[in-house]
Structures are given as C-alpha cells and as structure tokens.
C-alpha cells in the first residue's frame, strides 16, 4: 500500500487502480487549490476509482464543493468512479444547502467506498 503525505493531503493506494485522497484539515479557499491539484494529478494516472475521505474535515466551504464538482466532472471524462466517504454532519449540511447531496456517491466508511 503506497502512501504519500503532504501537510494537507494524504494519498493512499489500497488496491491497484484505487486512490484515496484524504485532506487532513478543513477545506476553505486557502486549501482547496491544493486539493484540486492533487485530484487532477491522480485522475491523470489510470485510476478507476478515486475516493475522497473527509474523515478529518470538519468544515468545508463552497470552494471545496466546487473542487469536488469539478473532480466529479473530470472523473466522468476518464471513466473514473469518484466516491466520498466519512462525511461529518456539518460538512454534509453544506452539500444539502447547495443541493449537491444527491449529485455525489457518498458512503459511510473508506471500506464501503473501496468495495462499492
């Protein structure tokens, strides 16, 4: 299992073709560009499933949402399945406010995301 880590993002590869990107803190305008870059880099590498694990994200603003919407669009272009897991209640609230809760595949745990 390869594992890379930056200050803000952890990247795991639990299986061939599966990548887990896990931000390690809140996502706002100051952090979302780094998340966007990480997702873009992974989508270009023959990945068939990209999991965004929000376990350590207690707060996300619309820049984080925009990053995930863009990721979903890019994933569909490369035939990659994008799954979000471990979403906290307060983060879930912003998805509902923006009416994006049904746009994404959202599951409880990382294991659920891997087996989906």
Nearest to 104 by CA among 67, 59, 58, 72: 72
Query: 89-97 and 62-77 helices cross at what angle (nearest 10)?
Result: 80
- 8 Å CB contact between 53 and 20: yes
**Helix, strand or coil for residue 21?**
strand
For other proteins, the closer of residues 3 and 90 by Cβ is 90
Cβ nearer to other proteins, comparing 79 with 89: 89
Nearest CB to other proteins, comparing residues 97 and 116: 97
The CB-of-14 to other proteins minimum distance in angstroms stands at 28
User: Which residue, 11 or 69, has its beta carbon nearer to other proteins?
Assistant: 69
Shortest Cβ 13–other proteins spacing (Å): 26
- Cβ of residue 36: shortest distance to other proteins, in angstroms? 9
Binding region for other proteins (CB under 8 A):
26, 28-30, 59, 61-63, 65-67, 69-70, 73, 89-90, 93-94, 96-100, 103
- What distances in angstroms separate CA 91 from CA 34, 37, 45, 76, one per listed residue? 19, 21, 28, 23
Q: In angstroms, what is the minimal distance from the CB of 93 to other proteins?
A: 7
Helix (H) or strand (E) segment spanning residue 4 = strand 2-5
């Amino acid at each position: 299992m390869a594992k890379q880590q930056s200050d803000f993002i952890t990247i795991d590869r639990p299986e061939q073709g599966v990548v887990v990107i896990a931000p390690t803190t809140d996502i706002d305008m100051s952090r979302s560009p780094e998340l966007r870059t990480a997702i873009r880099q992974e989508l270009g590498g023959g990945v068939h499933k990209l999991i965004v694990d929000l376990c350590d994200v207690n707060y996300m603003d619309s820049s984080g949402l925009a990053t995930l919407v863009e990721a979903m669009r890019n994933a569909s272009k490369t035939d990659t399945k994008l799954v979000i897991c471990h979403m906290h209640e307060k983060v879930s609230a912003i998805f509902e406010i923006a009416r994006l809760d049904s746009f994404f595949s959202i599951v409880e745990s990382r294991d659920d995301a891997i087996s989906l």
